[in-house]
Amino acid sequence: MSNLVKIICISRSMVYEKINPRSRYHDPRFPKPFAMEGRRKYWILSEVHSYIAEMAAKRKAGGEK
């Protein structure tokens, strides 16, 4: 989680908001976490980078900022 927060530049609580389908900040495109050891969450780095690239491409195309 700490590495994800550094890469994406959002708070830990916002990460949970983005993955929570009940949240008004839910983003279905945000990479989905998985658990390997109990409740600890992990993200696949390539999916995180793809998400960032998608957001950057939308910005360049004049979409979301």
Contact assessment for residue 10 and residue 3, using Cβ atoms and an 8 Å cutoff: no
- Write the pLDDT tens digit of every residue in 13-34: 999 999 999 999 999 999 999 9
Average model confidence (pLDDT) across the chain: 90
CA dist 36 and 21 (Å) reads 22
| Mean pLDDT to the nearest integer, 24-52 | 93
| Cβ count within 10 A of residue 31 | 21
- Helices and strands per DSSP (H, E), number in the chain: 3, 2
Cα dihedral 26, 7, 57, 65 in deg (nearest 10): 60
Q: Would you kindly state where each structural domain of the chain is located, as residue ranges? A: 2-60
